[in-house]
Amino acid sequence: MHKFRLTENEEKELNMWVEKHDHKCKLKKKNKTRFLTYCFTPTGIGVSVVIKCSCGKSADITDTSCW
């Protein structure tokens, strides 16, 4: 089994995106449960990281500085 981890930069991007998204998220505004999905995609040069809210919005938080 392979464990995927966020880099420090990806964690910062994630926190900034969640904070910004919370103000716009239609599920959050309605006090409904929402989930974040983390999609790790290995490539030939590194791992791409995309987060997706259950409302449908997503963001690519890949830290390409370590590629």
Q: What is the mean pLDDT of residues 16-40?
A: 91
Read off the pLDDT of each residue in 58-62 and give the average, rounded to a whole number. 98
d(C-alpha 42, C-alpha 34), whole Å:
26
Mean pLDDT value across the chain: 93
**Pairing status of strand 36-42 against strand 58-60:** unpaired
Given a cut of 90, whether residue 31 has pLDDT beyond it is no
E strand map for the chain: 36-42, 47-53, 58-60
